[in-house]
Amino acid sequence: MSECLFCKIVNRQIPAKIVYEDERVVVIEDINPQAPLHVLVIPKTHIASLNDVTPGQDALIGEMNRRAAGIARDRGYADRGFRTVLNTNREAGQTVFHIHLHLLAGRSMAWPPG
Ligand code: 5GP
Ligand code: ZN
């Protein structure tokens, strides 16, 4: 996906602050943070949205969630709490169509979300 922003970040064609990387995911700082900790867990493979995940990618989705929890723990937010968000399509506010899990922490958060 040559025109995909997050594929370009994964491929180092566009710079980003990478806080974690392995064979399957990269984690970057969000360019417009909405909390003291706001990072995005991005799979290296291009998946446009949660609507496009296949059964064979279930482990990858699980890994994204566990990685978010691990980063929250490393940063001291496991007990205080943190929020993970995965926006899908227009009404949910998805703006980048390469799946990514938001990890937000460091402030109280309202429910329901806006
Ligand atoms: P979405 O609205 O699709 O759920 O989330 C997209 C997120 O990507 C937003 O929080 C936005 O701030 C972030 N973002 C958009 N462009 C860039 C970029 O070029 N670099 C980084 N690090 N984050 C970006
Ligand atoms: Zn992509």
- The pLDDT value given to residue 1: 67
81 Cα to the center of ligand 2, angstroms? 29
- The pLDDT value given to residue 87: 98
What does the alpha-carbon distance between residue 45 and residue 9 come to, in Å, rounded to a whole number?
A: 12
DSSP 104: E
CA 95 to centroid of chain Cα atoms: 13
50 Cα to the center of ligand 2, angstroms? 13
Maximal C-alpha separation, the chain:
40
Q: With contact defined as beta carbons under 8 Å apart, do 27 and 19 qualify?
A: yes
CA 31 to centroid of chain Cα atoms: 12
Whole-model pTM over 0.75: yes
List pLDDT tens digits, range 18-36.
Answer: 999 999 999 999 999 999 9
Amino acid (one-letter) located at 7:
C
- The pLDDT value given to residue 2: 79
Q: Tell me which ligand sits closest to the C-alpha of residue 96.
A: 1
List pLDDT tens digits, range 51-107.
Answer: 999 999 999 999 999 999 999 999 999 999 999 999 999 999 999 999 999 999 999
Annotated catalytic residue within 38, 46, 98, 100: 100
DSSP 97: S
